[in-house]
Structure 1
Amino acid sequence: MPYVNIKITNEGATAEQKAELIQGVTELLQTTLNKNPATTVVVIDEVETDNWGIGGEVVTEIRKRAK
Structure 2
Amino acid sequence: MPIIQVTLVEGRAEEKIQQFIRQVARVASETLDAPIHTVRVMVTEVPPTRFAVGERLKSDPPGD
Provide TM-score, normalisation by structure 1: 0.83
SS of equivalent residue, structure 1 residue 60:
coil
SS of equivalent residue, structure 2 residue 62:
helix
Q: Which residue of 1 aligns with 2:62?
A: 65
CA shift, 1:55, in A, is: 2.9
Provide TM-score, normalisation by structure 2: 0.86
Gaps of 5+ in 1: none
- The percent of aligned pairs where both chains have the same amino acid is 19
**CA distance in structure 2 between the aligned counterparts of 1:57 and 1:32, rounded to whole angstroms:** 36
Q: Which amino acid aligns with 2:37?
A: A
**CA distance in structure 1 between the aligned counterparts of 2:14 and 2:46, rounded to whole angstroms:** 16
Q: What are the superposed Cα offsets for residues 30-49 of structure 1, whole Å, 9 maximum, x if unpaired? A: 11111111011111111011
Q: Which residue of 2 aligns with 1:2?
A: 2
Gaps of 5+ in 2: none
CA shift, 1:56, in A, is: 2.5
What does 1:1-67 correspond to in 2, within 5 Å? 1-11=1-11, 13-61=12-60, 64-65=61-62
SS of equivalent residue, structure 2 residue 42:
strand
The structure whose residues are more often helix, as a share, is 1
Number of matched residues? 63
Q: Which amino acid aligns with 1:4?
A: I
